[in-house]
A and B are shown apart, each in its own frame.
Chain A
Amino acid sequence: MTTSREISRDGLWGNNVALVQLLGLCPLLAVTSTVVNGIGLGLATLITLVLSNTIVSLIRDFVRKEVRLPVFVLIIASVVTIIELSMQALFYDLYLVLGIFIPLIVTNCAIIGRAEGFASRNPVGPAALDGLMMGLGFLVVLALLGALREIIGFGTLFANAELMFGDGAQTLTIEFNEDYPGFLLAVLPPGAFFGLALLIVIKNWLDLRPQEKQEIIEPVPETV
């Protein structure tokens, strides 16, 4: 039985969908040209993960092993379609920006991966929490990568925030330098690869730091 603490740690850091499992790269790399796009797709993925994990966990005792994968795919496809329609009805402007990427969530291996690897073997509570934490971990990476590319590529932050948070959010947009010429590479797909690589490097560096200290201490008793 995994504890909530372990599940949260795994989702946000240790087994992060984007930084460690490297799943869902297609939407991740395509959408993160700005923070707002990143958060938009992150939220949609998060909701999908929580719903699909919950439903898969609820039916885990009834599904026969032979048909579990088609059933999971069906659940995920239904959830994503419902999210897409709701988004069209409620946040149409954001849908115009993210629209073509929403159906791509179906193909995000992270979602069927969590359904198969975790939700189908655990009770509803942990399964929903796992969906939430994995989704949050993915969302944070999308937002960070979006911020990185937006600052370097456009010299702004939170541009078009009104698409998601309403007209009041227009003031959220930060423009660092009016004459910033922009840096095309960061906006184009290669920028996404560089940015993601940089984030992975930072994560691995943070992970490795405590071990280095141990390695320095350990050899001492051996030489004595």
Chain B
Amino acid sequence: MIAISRRQILISGIFLWLFAVAGTTLVALTEYSSREAIIENERQVLLRNLYALLPRDKLDNDLAEDILELPASPLLGTDAASIVYRARLAGEPVAAIFNSIAPNGYNGKIHLLVGIYSNGKLAGVRVVKHAETPGLGDAVEVRKSPWIKSFDSKSLTDPGPSGWRVKRDDGEFDQFTGATITPRAVVAAVRNTLLYYQQNASMIFN
């Protein structure tokens, strides 16, 4: 063990402290100067996802601003509060876009954006986050496969309750070759979101 004098310890400590201050200052400055750009980027991505479900000419409000916080609900698959985006045209409700979760994907939760018109028909569904197997289950992503578009303009009555399953379970929706669990989870989650909307429509557009 090499003896270190008290003075040396002090100098080292101060040196380390100076570096911590300098490093933190630099990071703080970068954070400050990039904060607005980052918030704007996040907003753009959110808007891009939302407008993928709803044509811009069908609404005239700011989708990202007209939001409502929903409590955790088993139908939405959420165990914490989630946000619903509301689309309106001249003040009249047009559609609601839910953040819902399919809790039983092959590899954990599948996060969905589910757009529902005020008449109960689906505007569309998009997967925003998932950990499904690349090449098999990830066909739920719109850029990998058009499958997710098979939900467009479906509703609780079209198909009926027995149709809201994948074909292997005698339903209407295709499964993927080699992956049944993923589409099964998504189909169930979309139907549950429709049920949630049916039960809570008046509360959402209060």
**A residues whose Cβ falls under 8 Å from a Cβ of B:** 33, 62-64, 66-67, 70-71, 74-75, 77-78, 81-82, 85-86, 88-90, 92-93, 96, 153-154, 182, 184, 187-188
From A62, A77, A184, B23 is in contact (CB under 8 Å) with A77
Contact check, A64 vs B11: say whether CB atoms are below 8 A apart.
Answer: yes
Some 28 contacts from A to B, beta carbons below 8 A apart, are A64-B8, A64-B11, A66-B12, A74-B20, A74-B23, A75-B19, A75-B23, A78-B23, A78-B26, A82-B26, A82-B27, A82-B30, A85-B30, A85-B31, A85-B34, A86-B34, A88-B37, A88-B41, A92-B42, A92-B45, A93-B45, A153-B134, A153-B135, A154-B135, A184-B134, A184-B135, A184-B136, A188-B133
Q: Contacts A64-B15, A85-B30 hold; do A90 and B23 have CB atoms under 8 A apart? A: no
CB contacts between A and B, total, < 8 Å: 69
Contact check, B20 vs A187: say whether CB atoms are below 8 A apart.
Answer: no
**B residues whose Cβ falls under 8 Å from a Cβ of A:** 4, 8, 11-13, 15-16, 19-20, 23-24, 26-27, 30-31, 34, 37-38, 41-42, 44-45, 133-136
- On chain B, the residues within 8 Å of A184 by CB distance are 133-136
State the CA gap A64–B23 with chains docked (Å).
Answer: 18
> Which residue of A has the minimal Cβ distance to B143?
A160
> Which residue of A has the minimal Cβ distance to B16?
A67
From B15, B26, B133, B134, A71 is in contact (CB under 8 Å) with B15
> Which residue of B has the minimal Cβ distance to A72?
B19
Contact check, A96 vs B45: say whether CB atoms are below 8 A apart.
Answer: yes
